[in-house]
A and B are shown apart, each in its own frame.
Chain A
Amino acid sequence: MDQVNVVNKDVNIVAYYFHNKGRRLRCFPKSMEWAGRRVNFTETGMVHPTRKGQRMLHVFDMTDGNADYRLEFDAQQLSWTLVSIADISESQDAPRFAHTVTA
């Protein structure tokens, strides 16, 4: 089973914005301060929108090469939330199921 650590904490993100062929700017979260260290993202897996009531959230699935991070950007509040960290290297042995960790 996938090892997903649910975090759900606000985080500070340094993001770059790029022109995107006449469409809205393309966002690339470059780095994040988390648990006393800087995480430098190397690749965006996928960006997709999701809704919570009338609020529009943009979900960024990012990786730094060691773990996968799920970030949410609230387009109204302009805030970033680290939703979860998934580390497959931990998933081979127990524990198999997701559990919650706090900062």
Chain B
Amino acid sequence: MPHASRIQLPPNPAEPQVMHIDLNSCFATVEQQARPLLRGRPVGITNRNTEYTCVVAASYEAKAQGVKVGMNFHDARLLAPDIVLVESDPPKYHHVYQILVDIMKSYSPNVTMKSIDEGIIDFSGTGLVNKRPLADIGYEIKARLKEEVGSWMRCNIGIAPNRFLAKTAAGLHKPDGLDIITARNLQATFSELKLTDLTGIAERNQARLNAAGIYTPLQFLDAPSDILRRRVFKSICGDDWYKRLRGWEVDDIEFGLKTVGRQFVLDEMRPSRELVISRLAYLCETTAMKLRYKGICARGVFVYVRYANGDYWYDRKMFKSSFYTNTEVLRRALLLFNNRPLEAYEREIGITCYGLEPSNINQVSLLEEVNKEAWLTEAMDTINGQFGEFTITFATSLSAKDTVKQKIPFGTTRYFELLCNRA
């Protein structure tokens, strides 16, 4: 007997209105566009010019030789001896990102950028303006991208009734594909995929599904919602998967900002205390810049240290007053950081501000020294805005400026403008 709370939904019969655009191998493709001599060659993008770096993006030519994202320099070199490793260049990627956003917004106001290299256009409600089939618009977007950025630029486009299926469609024929998934071809499309081809299903979720006797996307599609909820995912996520696979929208959610922070793997194997404090000061400075950029202040600080011997230490504290200046973030971080054990060399440090609230930058304090610090920060930001970031900075963190480089964040474009000003 079916369970009372079992959901029964058919595949979403609506015409596809969601378009997913993905610049696959984005950074590598942009570098190949910018430097014609790299075209047709295996290219890997790294965040630093050191032998301990890893590949953060690989060109299709490199991927064909087995190079994967996250692979370290030596492994990549073994697999593809002629690979050219290029240090990432954020302003270049930002330029392409801006062009992509402008192109997407010219078709619908409902555009969501999921990360630096992928975005979603929701065409719902634009029927009166866009009378053409979405596939035609997709091919036009590809042509405009080539025209406005360069002939080497390619993108994958997926069209479907919901975001999940649109992303799945975008991954079907790389590079430069355009695929449409509807209720009519849903089963045929799933029959050609593996479970791990579905976004959100990696080894662990695959193991969960396998434990319930589900080995293929088609079996996943046919599984009842209560089995997914009670036996596989053991949460409401099971119902979400049931709807998601059938083309019903469950992923149209905006997540608010909860924390702001930075981490850094130290550039020396045996760092001195001064070096560690210098790097921490720099991280605090850039975290405070992020807070001011977003117009927020924080009340809590979390610091952590990962040691060379594998040990991990952290501390956190919620303060009564909120803060947003460079000095305050550093002072509060040091209150915690100076209590760390000193039994081994530090390998990685990080700071995170939490307890975020709207900025009180315009609130004049009764305490003169608080006002002075706020005015000083405002003046410093004005000068840095005029002459470039870090024109005025902590003397403590001076040596970190050339070492701790701001790199491209994956997954969020919240601080992109700030990052590019700094790069």
Contacts and interface: CB of A to CB of B under 8 A. Distances in A.
Interface string A59-81: 10101010110000000000000
Nearest to A54: B386
A2 B85 contact: yes
A63 B37 contact: yes
A68 B49 CA distance: 18
Given A1-B49, A86-B35, A91-B84, A49 B95 contact: yes
Given A51-B421, A61-B35, A46 B149 contact: yes
B92 A2 contact: no
Interface residues of A, number: 25
A37 interface: no
Interface string A35-58: 000000001011011111110000
A88 B38 contact: yes
Contacts of A52: 388
A54 B385 contact: yes
A48 B84 contact: no
A102 interface: no
Most chain A beta-carbon neighbours within 10 Å: one of B33, B38, B41, B391 = B38
Contacts of A100: none
B49 A50 contact: no
A98 interface: yes
B34 A53 contact: no
B86 A48 contact: no
Nearest to A47: B95
A91 B84 CA distance: 7
Contacts of A1: 49, 73, 85
Given A2-B86, A98-B49, A46 B34 contact: yes
B85 A45 contact: no
Contact of B91 (A48, A88, A97): A48
A46 B421 CA distance: 19
Contact of B30 (A46, A51, A68): A46
Contacts of B388: 52-53
Nearest to B73: A1
A68 B82 contact: no
A53 B95 contact: no
A97 B35 CA distance: 18
A46 B84 contact: no
B33 A45 contact: yes
B52 interface: no
Nearest to A4: B87
A4 B391 CA distance: 26
B214 interface: no
Nearest to B152: A45
A101 B423 CA distance: 22
Contacts of A50: 91, 420, 423
Contacts of A59: 91-92
A52 B389 CA distance: 8
A52 B390 CA distance: 11
Contacts of A65: 37
Contact of B36 (A4, A43, A98): A43
Given A2-B85, A53-B388, A88 B49 contact: no
A43 B86 CA distance: 20
A35 B85 CA distance: 27
Most chain B beta-carbon neighbours within 10 Å: one of A4, A68, A98 = A68
B255 interface: no
A28 to B, nearest CB: 14
Given A2-B84, A86-B35, 8 more contacts: A1-B73, A45-B34, A46-B92, A50-B91, A53-B386, A54-B386, A59-B91, A61-B35
14 contacts: A45-B150, A46-B30, A48-B95, A50-B423, A53-B385, A59-B92, A67-B37, A68-B34, A68-B38, A86-B37, A88-B38, A88-B41, A97-B49, A98-B49
Interface of A: 1-2, 4, 43, 45-46, 48-54, 59, 61, 63, 65, 67-68, 86, 88, 91-92, 97-98
A-B pairs, 6 with minimum CB distance: A48-B95, A53-B388, A46-B34, A61-B34, A45-B34, A53-B387
